[in-house]
Chains A and B, each alone.
Chain A
């Protein structure tokens, strides 16, 4: 459902009450994030929380800049610049969390909000069954990090951005049969300052860039239409260089031709097929069927009312025991890949994220954690001779939202022994389909049953691609699907896909995350035909 206009986008979970500053009230001027006053205010918030009785406290002060530009065919449709600025304080008192946030960054307000968070925690503690226990903290008294950008998107002339989109549209419209094109760019620059009672003070600047194009072809008699999205261009944690490297103008004719071809493509016959899934498609299947069910808060039931739970339950029956897929299947969680959407040097509770194997040699090996969650896996870590430590998977979408467990970049690792190509994967198939690009997606609340579409579909007969198909979707059950993976592509087939808006929590917060994957082959997957006649 569309959000109602009463709501401010991006406002979410917080505790206590934060006054709406009156209109007549003078605001403090907006501070540059490297202004010494920012550090002073952060320290003041942390101290006020401690004085009010918090056993732990953290504060995030952030300034988010966004820019969005959209076009259709030969015209601009929108150009928006946005900024939001404020701070949020999270505290632990009497074993319970409290959180409060405000857009008014003044000395009095940070203290008031910190106290508010503590009183909220005390109120919640009355109904607490088990006090929150934290894994060890870390101290980084003077840390900084910035996404590895070459060109700050906010310094690129507007004319250049618009001209590029319109040129890409023009290139697509030159293709016979391509009738409509939408293209857009979205940029984020988030300056985020973090301080906590462990003595950390961390300033990070995070960038995201997302160029997109979508072409629609309409049949001459208006009886059919088909679209193709630029699914081989992922959103990235990079700057404007990512837009330039995406070569929208050069790629647009290919996307347009794909849309036109779909009008006359053969409709798929439902049945069981072997599939070659390109990483432009497979990243989303990884996201839904591996990354989500291995989130520990889902497993523990905290998201049961919306995002759901997980088939991975109880944990002791799964960790080190459950075969997710074949021996060559290794899935890694990390926040370090340059350009990854979840990539940061420190998470939103001041922990340095590590790289870890969620699935090791086909078996579940670890789960996604924050400081609050790592102790829930203490027995397993002890067995492994590992310390109880957060993986650094805490995240919040803005100053106004409380941080909680969100997925890191979750990647299916390529074959390290042999650089198997897509052609080799195809050559091993009698009767199959190659799918390129992510399309329709849906999965149940425990992550068993899923259905995925795509952008383009190619028929494979006797080891060769024979032509385009349409109306394809496959249905799967997570364990059988991954155990049906019989070959995996090498490093040369590896691609970093990404989800720009992954929702979880109530009120829902949006997380951006990348998923690296090689191409891979799956045996005997159930394919349906989605074309219905009205």
Chain B
């Protein structure tokens, strides 16, 4: 394949942003641009079903007259289209009422050095993706199992620029490989997956091996009673739950009295101990374990933020407006996070468990009660009974109703943190690094017949 531009370089972004800003007649203007290629290969029933690469780019132009603000988006960058998108945003901005919370655009900023860009991912051609898929489907077919899955990759860049001279640019790569291996009679199902910025860290054969082992082990599942169980949650399942807490860490809704992080009588829980003291959570755009965006949509830098330290709430997410109102610093929000762990292995957790459940991953997770960050969902693709320190049987899947807050107060043991694929959809996304956790009193509420 001929060498081609997969995404806009810093210089191209600068030129494009300047061209767009050049058409602006508003008091304030901001341009947000994203460009890139998204490549994917899907496989089903041991063969590639679809795959390919889409190249696209979009530009969103925001205009403000005083405190009257509006935006418009286009995916065409000829002068006529750029002029049109600027004019649309200006026309809308003149017509909308004032936004009393609009603080104007930012001038030049200092950004952390965060370039989560890896040539191994940028070079992931359709042929290389097909080879990775074969490394999963071949061993599955050899063992008379059925592999289905998804390899997603993104090579792209994003930029923000304002009329006040701010310019932010970041290029990056992400990849995510997931597979669900099922027995042909549908009585067993196993999953494995991982997300990485750097494709060279992904080992498809090892993922295949895990999913195959789980599919075979999960045959002949027996039913156990729902109720409070000791669980050993593999890192993926931990991420599925813990990320729900990070989504809820918004200072404003806490201060407004409509969040778990609201304090009775007013204010929020910053400074309070609310989790097991072994739990610390931070985000840091330049940490290779949890690379993330160096800036937010307004061009505000993201920086290292300690959200939880030894079980104490250290920070919530503050927007520019809410930070100004409450006399705090805006925090930005790096979308990946790192959670501290321990030194137990999953094998040791199993060995130390008299009766419990080993859980591979959670699925169809939806909010039930925001007051306690209570969610519901199901176990899926590998749920096993542990008795007297050994895995004794596969068990039928269970529905749970649980909050990460309760789970992180019931910790018995943790492993070293690892990078996982935390999204339900298997798409390339935020970098999440978490441990496996053994926890007591995890609430299962009903049985599911789904395999």
Contact = CB atoms under 8 A, between A and B. Distances in A.
At the interface, is chain A mostly helix, strand, loop or mixed?
loop
Contacts of A7: 34, 36, 38, 154, 156, 428
A477 B50 CA distance: 33
Nearest to B54: A14
Contact of B154 (A6, A20, A120): A6
Nearest to B73: A82
Contacts of B182: 301, 304, 309
Given A301-B182, A506-B40, A506-B426, A475 B76 contact: no
Contacts of B101: 75
A29 interface: yes
- Most chain-B Cβ atoms within 10 A of its Cβ — which of A23, A120, A162? A23
B76 A180 contact: no
Chain A: number of interface residues, binned into ranges: 35 or more
12 contacts: A3-B427, A4-B172, A17-B53, A20-B56, A79-B96, A128-B47, A222-B257, A222-B262, A302-B44, A447-B450, A451-B368, A451-B445
A349 B241 CA distance: 40
B107 interface: no
A15 B424 CA distance: 23
B393 interface: no
Nearest to A160: B95
B416 interface: no
A383 interface: no
B119 to A, nearest CB: 16
A7 to B, nearest CB: 6
A123 B53 contact: no
Interface of A: 1-9, 11-23, 26-27, 29-30, 75-86, 97-103, 120, 123-124, 127-129, 157-159, 162, 166, 179-180, 216, 218, 221-225, 227, 300-302, 304-306, 308-309, 311, 313, 400, 402, 440-449, 451, 453, 471, 473, 475, 477, 503, 506-508, 526, 528, 530-534
- Most chain-B Cβ atoms within 10 A of its Cβ — which of A1, A19, A103, A225? A1
Contacts of A308: 450
Given A8-B34, A100-B52, A446 B256 contact: no
Contacts of B157: 6
B5 A79 contact: no
Contact of A6 (B47, B172, B257): B172
Contacts of B76: 27, 30, 85, 103
Interface stretch (B201-209, B345-353, B370-378): B370-378
Given A8-B57, A449-B448, A442 B262 contact: no
A103 B56 contact: yes
B258 A4 contact: no
B8 A81 contact: no
Given A222-B257, A223-B264, A534-B260, A475 B426 contact: no
B425 A304 contact: no
Nearest to A15: B52
Contacts of B50: 13, 15, 97, 99, 124, 402
A8 B6 CA distance: 13
A80 to B, nearest CB: 5
Contact of A11 (B46, B56, B60, B264): B56
B78 A27 contact: yes
A239 B430 CA distance: 37
Contacts of B38: 7-8, 11-12, 507
B185 to A, nearest CB: 10
Interface of B: 1, 4-8, 12, 15-16, 34-38, 40, 42, 44-58, 60, 69-78, 80-81, 88-89, 92-93, 95-101, 126, 130, 146, 148-150, 152, 154, 156-158, 172, 174, 178-180, 182, 186, 189, 243, 256-258, 260, 262-266, 292-293, 297, 335, 363-372, 374, 376-378, 380, 397, 399, 401, 403, 405-406, 422-430, 432, 445-451
Nearest to B149: A305
A85 B398 CA distance: 44
A246 to B, nearest CB: 21
A399 B368 CA distance: 36
Nearest to A440: B368
B7 A77 contact: no
A302 B45 contact: yes
Nearest to A224: B371
B48 to A, nearest CB: 6
A442 B364 contact: yes
B265 A221 contact: yes
For the complex of A and B, list the 7 residue pairs with the smallest distance between their C-beta atoms, beginning with the closest.
A15-B52, A449-B448, A446-B450, A6-B156, A444-B450, A82-B73, A27-B78
B179 A17 contact: no
B53 A83 contact: no
A99 B72 CA distance: 29
Contact of A82 (B48, B72, B149, B422): B72
